[in-house]
Amino acid sequence: MTCFPFLFGKRAKSPTGSVGNDEELLGMHNVRLYTYKELKVATEDFSLANKIGEGGFGSVYKGRLRNGKLAAIKVLSAQSRQGLKEFLAETKVISVIEHENLVQLYGCCVENNHRILVYNYLENNSLAQTLLGRGSSSLQFDWQSRSRICIGIARGLAFLHEDVQPYIIHRDIKASNILLDRDLTPKISDFGLARLVPANMSHISTGVAGTIGYLAPEYAIRGQVTRKSDIYSFGVLLVEIVSGRCNKNTKLPIGEQYLLETAWNLYERGELVLLVDMSLNGDFDAEEACKYIKIGLLCTQDSPKLRPSMSTVVKMLMGEMSVEDRKITKPGLLSDLMDPRGKIPEKNKGSDGLFLGNSTTSSEPSTVTTATFTAQYDTNNLSSAL
């Protein structure tokens, strides 16, 4: 089990030797510190030609480090005060963990007012731009590739939830945060909204954060987050990968716009195979594909208590545990709570007034102490970035 010594560490010194007088350098002794000059050279002065992504907290550039390695260099916007919190969270979380299905942090820059993260560069962008991008990529995703991607994401998330201490809730599992290497191995990225949860806590309370479409309805209303929130997001993503469809498509008829709702209707009719991506041209294992969609429905059930753990999900995906003997109940749909304008009515708001529809809550007992954090709601996708 991986532990996080930085939680009890001393403040690190900056490259100039001065000790930080605020939280910004806390825990940085676990990370390689690059100078701003090094990264400026690596990206050819942050050339527009090397820019590979942009999001709410800044831009990402492709660069070549002095050791010859290609890197994705994520530059925090100087104007983003909220982004600084996400920078610190991302650095601390990813600096001490390593897994085949997580992005690898090379280091960072905290020189003067610069806040930059340096990651391994991944050649094949994100699932959002490739599999779900339709027309923007020449990559072909056969059934075997999709199956490996689903299992890889599940393994990475199971590692965060169960193999590190304190465990990690990602809070923003979605297609644009799943990057692909040369062999289409998936890597979970963007830990800017991640939270560490000590073992003695059942949940944490946060400002609503995440991406509409992937967020469990209960989190959107009450703002409490548990591992079940991530599991819901994974379930949505799983159905997206099998179907080749985004979780919402306003170009479709009203009754077919929400992917989860469509999946549930087809499940009730015993016609799940109709949801499998038509671009596969029938070249897939129908039984396995339907099983994956059922697992997605299990992960998105309305009651968080009924959603399986990620280690159980891995076993089901790999055929080590049966899906057929599990009762599947209706998924929790944020759309069920919305009025025609796409807003949650007053009667469906939680006591704290949170209702933006971008997070997930826990129905686990809340008798233990909780920690409170705040985070900026980010509606921007960081394309090929982290």
What is the C-alpha separation between 94 and 150, in angstroms, rounded?
21
Band of residue 93 on the pLDDT scale cut at 50, 70, 90: confident
Cβ atoms of 216 and 383 within 8 Å: the answer is no
What is the rounded CA–CA span in Å between residue 132 and residue 113? Answer: 37
Six-digit token pair at 233?
């997001």
Provide the token pair at 155: 């393994």
Q: How far is CA 60 from CA 53, 57, 117, 323, in A?
A: 5, 10, 9, 40
Q: Is the peptide bond before 15 cis (omega within 30 degrees of 0)?
A: no
Please tell me the predicted confidence (pLDDT) of residue 88.
72
Q: How confident is the model at residue 353 (pLDDT cuts 50, 70, 90)?
A: very low
- What pLDDT band is residue 375 in, cutting at 50, 70 and 90? very low
pLDDT, tens digit, for every residue of 220-253? 777 778 899 999 999 999 999 999 999 999 888 8
DSSP state at residue 156: H
Closest CA to 219 of 265, 157, 256, 169: 169
Mean pLDDT of 192-209: 60
363 has a pLDDT exceeding 90: no
Asked if pLDDT for residue 10 goes beyond 80, the answer is no
Task: Give residue 326's Cα distance to chain centre.
Answer: 26
Tokens, residue 218: 């209960």
Instruction: Write down the pLDDT at residue 227.
Output: 94
Give the pLDDT score at 207. Answer: 56
The SS3 of residue 72 is: strand
Window from 142-156, 225-239, 264-278, 351-365 with minimum mean pLDDT: 351-365
pLDDT greater at residue 96 or residue 79:
96
More confident of the two residues 296 and 190 = 296
Question: For position 340, what pLDDT does the model report?
Answer: 58
Report helix, strand or coil for 372: strand
CA dihedral 88, 91, 97, 101 (to 10 degrees): 110
In this structure, what token pair is assigned to residue 278? 């038509």
pLDDT score of 352: 36
Give the C-alpha separation, 270 to 273, whole Å.
8
111: pLDDT confidence band, cut at 50, 70 and 90?
A: confident
C-beta neighbour count of 352 within 10 angstroms: 13
Catalytic residue positions, numbered: 172
Cα(145)–Cα(164) distance, integer angstroms: 28
Q: In the chain, what are the domains? A: 2-120 (3.30.200.20), 143-348 (1.10.510.10)
Q: What is the pLDDT of residue 8?
A: 34
Res 53: pLDDT: 82
The model's confidence at residue 284, banded by pLDDT at 50, 70 and 90, is: very high
* Percent with pLDDT over 90 in the chain: 50
Q: What is the pLDDT of residues 246-263, one digit of tens each?
A: 999 988 888 888 999 999
Report the C-alpha gap between 136 and 98 in whole angstroms: 31
The tokens 């009754």 sit on which residue?
255
DSSP state of 281: T
Predicted pLDDT of residue 342: 57
Q: Does residue 159 have a pLDDT over 60? A: yes
Cα separation of 173 and 241, whole Å?
Answer: 13
Quote the CA–CA distance of 360 and 231 in Å, as a whole number. 10
74 in a known ligand binding site: yes
Does residue 18 surpass a pLDDT of 50?
no
C-alpha distances out from residue 265 to 185, 230, 320, Å: 32, 23, 27
Q: Is 119 helix (H, G, I), strand (E, B) or coil?
A: strand
pLDDT at residue 350 is higher than 60: no
What mean pLDDT is reported for the chain? 79
Give residue 24's pLDDT band: very low, low, confident or very high (50, 70, 90). low
More confident residue, 78 or 185: 185
The residue type at 386: L
| Tokens at 130, concatenated | 């490739």
Give the pLDDT of residue 285: 97
Q: Where does the pLDDT of residue 54 fall: very low under 50, low under 70, confident under 90, or very high at 90 and above?
A: confident
